[in-house]
Amino acid sequence: MRVLIIGGGICGLGTALLLARQNHDVTLLERDDQPPPASPADAWDQWGRHGVAQFRQPHNFMPGLRLLLDETLPDVQQALRTAGATKFDLLNPLPPSILDRSPRPIDDSLWTYTARRPVGEWVFARAVEEERRITIRRGVEVTALLRGAEASAGIPQIAGVRTSSGEELLADLVVDARGRQSPNGDWLVALGARRPVEEKADCGFMYYTRYFTGTMPERRGPVLTPIGSISLLTLVGDNDTWSVTVFASVGDQSLKKLRHQKAWTNVVRACPMHAHWLDGEPISDVLAMSGIVDRYRHYVVDGEPVATGFVAVADAWACSNPSAGRGLTVGFKHARLLRDVMAETADSPRTLVEEFYRRTEAQIAPWHHAQVASDRMRFAEIEAIREGRALPPPPNNLASGIRSLMVSMGGSPDLFRAGLEYVATITPVQDILTRPKVAQAIQQIMAGMKDSPPQPFPGPSRQELMGLLA
């Protein structure tokens, strides 16, 4: 099958590799014109990926991605290690509350190799350049889809794309991997298709990140730690680098001062579990990012595909708050799902789109729904703290289940691993919460917390935070 992939980020590159190794002929179009530079270090210092707003924002290669690469692209996994990716074990350290330190069978799944986004993308890009069934063209921007002869009566068939130079490229399947800014709904409407049904809302968060190098800091708490009206995200990178991110409500005007190095440093230094992450050499300014949107697109509407010959993967399909670090892993899971569906349905364009949608809803969408539920819950907590109100209850059953698991996981070695199985992007939390042993353990631990609720993570109060920013 001739496949056109729009977008040369990590998920587009990974999709290309998976499909090419299933004997599909792949052309990948990337609008940024700069090829990968000579080395991983140059990727961080020099690579101009202007089409990716979050290119130098934190990313994480979760254990779920490591397991997928081991299975499908072991050579890419090896190339990540060679490029300096850092081994990161979610079980290290176990919290002091867990006294049983004996290993469990799942422990070997709860670690990964991780790297900064430019370095990880460099590895994938070099692998694509060496794959004989992939042609990658940089500096080519897609502006429209092409309509061909219908494969199913009354449903537009996508036959290729038109570029900004007017060039028309034909394909049997067009895969949109352009990311969260993809205008594919407009493209589809322009050629007579129904617009995909879109669920959309601003996720409400602003991010302030700084990178460091030196001796890798000891991890003393969760990777993502809520502290009053801010949260801190600490991620190891590659080649003795790491990042520290403070994120807060985008509407919290007083926290805009976090753009400035002194204010940002004052706040992180006031968090006892995180202050030592500043004990390295800074290799960036404070990098700010906002405008992140929660979006979910349905390409089958009222039981019919809006078009055949076209699918969207990863953030072009659905995107959310990136602070949990699952985007690359979920996107790669989606790409593998497309590969598998194509192997079974390639002779029927309509069946391909319908089956891909059905399995996306069943296997990939739960990750998006859980992230949105967590985001809404955390955003409501931040707003209550800002306004001096009592914390609100979780907004729905899914958020309540996630909160209960996260709060209680420190009370049991097996429950701790169940929580990490979700954090590591191995198993959707919806599936974990239905396990009888997990539900029973959560119930027992939460009952014991009624008289002694868990203590918040140490850090500045709202009033102290304002003083640090003054």
For every residue of 374-399, DSSP letters joined together read HHHHHHHHHHHHHHTPPPPPPSSHHH
pLDDT reported for residue 52: 81
Kindly tell me if the per-residue pLDDT of 291 is higher than 70: no
SS3 call for 412 = coil
- What separation in angstroms does the CA of 358 have from each of 53, 161, 450? 31, 25, 41
**Structural tokens at position 460:** 């500045």
Kindly tell me if the per-residue pLDDT of 9 is higher than 70: yes
190: which DSSP letter? H
Residue 54's pLDDT band, with cuts at 50, 70 and 90, is confident
Mean confidence (pLDDT) of the chain:
94
pLDDT tens-digit series, residues 73-107: 999 999 999 999 999 999 998 999 899 999 999 99
**Buried b / exposed e along 44-54 (16+ C-beta atoms within 10 A):** beebebebbeb
pLDDT reported for residue 17: 98
Q: Residue 259 burial (CB < 10 Å; 0-12/13-18/19+)? A: middle
Beta strands, E only, 153-308: 155-163, 168-170, 173-176, 197-202, 205-213, 224-227, 230-236, 241-249, 281-282, 287-289, 293-298, 300-301, 304-305
pLDDT reported for residue 449: 85
SS3 call for 421 = helix
Distance CA 181, CA 359 (A): 24
- Whether the model pTM is above 0.75: yes
Q: Residue 72 burial (CB < 10 Å; 0-12/13-18/19+)? A: middle
Domains, the chain, ordered by start: 1-59+116-200+291-390 (3.50.50.60), 205-290 (3.30.70)
pLDDT tens-digit series, residues 219-257: 998 999 999 999 999 999 999 999 999 999 888 999 999
Cβ–Cβ < 8 Å for 134, 8: no
pLDDT tens-digit series, residues 99-144: 999 999 999 999 999 999 999 999 999 999 999 999 999 999 999 9
Strand-pairing partners, residue 202, are 293
